[in-house]
Amino acid sequence: MLKLQNISFVAPDGGKAAEIIRGIDLDIPSDKFVVITGPNGGGKSTLAKLIAGIEKPTGGRLFYEDEDITELSITERARKGIGFAFQQPVRFKGLTVLDLLRIAAGRKLSVSEACEYLSEVGLCAKDYIKREVNASLSGGELKRIEIATVLARDVKLAVFDEPEAGIDLWSFNNLIRIFEKMRVTEKKRTVIVISHQERILNIADEIIVLSDGQVIDQGSKERVLPEIMGAKFTADICPKME
């Protein structure tokens, strides 16, 4: 479904270049629930942005459903069915939650349809539908609305960047339910979740560990999870000072 071929990304960092993603090869099969994990600053968000087209790789190619999408824009990728929930969602003065969900769905969703997406992420819909997506929303509320915008789209590949951040325990249970539902739905969907949460790692078909811009481990949950939880990995994530 999604193939990364020797993808690298160098960010121009005030003169000296920082290599954030270093020659990643990945093959994400269809209809799988894949969790990407790894230490902070390892390049997970950057990788997600490369998939959504927000950043362009400085080397390598990206294939989606056997098509080379390396040169496609964010919009073109979105229209091909790639969805992306930001780690830090954006606020909009003047746009309501309903406006945003309608934009996401690409049609004039009825209020009750929009409410369904909000209920799925644990927001009491009628309280939120007319609210502006502005500074008056808390971080956790914003995060759930962000997830709802991806649910409202008819995506084939959904990428969620740390969806659990800032979400309370009650909504977290909801989140797990959403992901489980995405797995069993008759609609074929591939889901990539960037997460540190054991409960999310626990529902993964496959776990990818990203550290220092490289894939350091990839495999089934049964094999990778015990290693992440073990001491070996925690020792590894501390970057060496030179």
Partner 1 sequence: MAKLDAVQLRLLREVADLHEVPEGAYNIRANGEAAGRNSTANIEITSKTDVSGIDIRIKDGTKNESVHIPVVMSESGLKEMVYNDFYVGKDCDVVIVAGCGIDNCGSHDSEHDGIHRFFIGRNSRVKYVEKHYGSGNGTGKRILDPQTEVYMDEGSYMEMEMVQIKGVDSTRRTTIAALKDNAKLVVRERLMTHGEQTAESIYKVDLNGEGSSADVVSRSVARDSSFQKLDLCVNGNAACSGHTECDSIIMDNGRILAVPSLEANSVDAALVHEAAIGKIAGEQLIKLMTLGLTEAEAEEQIINGFLK
By the rule CB under 8 A, 84 interacts with partner 1: yes
Q: Which pairs with CB-CB distance under 8 Å and at least 24 residues apart come from 64-70? A: 64/1, 64/2, 64/3, 64/157, 65/1, 65/156
Q: Which of residues 124-163 bind partner 1 (CB under 8 A)?
A: 149, 153
Using CB under 8 A, which of the segments 20-28, 57-65, 68-76, 213-221 binds partner 1? 68-76
Q: Which of residues 45-74 bind ligand ADP (CB under 6 A)?
A: 45-46
What are the structure tokens assigned to 5, written together? 């071929």
Task: State the residues that interact with Mg ion by CB under 5 A.
Answer: 44-45, 87
> In this chain, which of 56, 79, 181, 223 binds partner 1, going by CB under 8 A?
79
> In this chain, which of 26, 42, 197, 209 binds ligand ADP, going by CB under 6 A?
42
Of 16 and 93, nearer to partner 1 (C-beta) is 93
Could you give the CA distance from residue 186 to residue 169 in angstroms, rounded to a whole number?
Answer: 28
Could you give the CA distance from residue 65 to residue 3 in angstroms, rounded to a whole number?
Answer: 8
Spatial contact of 27 and 62, defined as CB atoms under 8 Å apart: no
Contacts of 60 (CB under 8 A, 6+ apart): 4, 5, 6, 7, 8, 23, 24, 70
Least distance (Å) between residue 14 CB and partner 1: 19
By the rule CB under 8 A, 78 interacts with partner 1: yes
What are the structure tokens assigned to 214, written together? 């490289």
Residues that bind partner 1 (CB under 8 A): 52, 54, 73-75, 78-79, 83-84, 86, 89-90, 92-96, 99-100, 103-104, 106, 149, 153
Residues that bind ligand ADP (CB under 6 A): 11, 13, 18, 20, 40-46
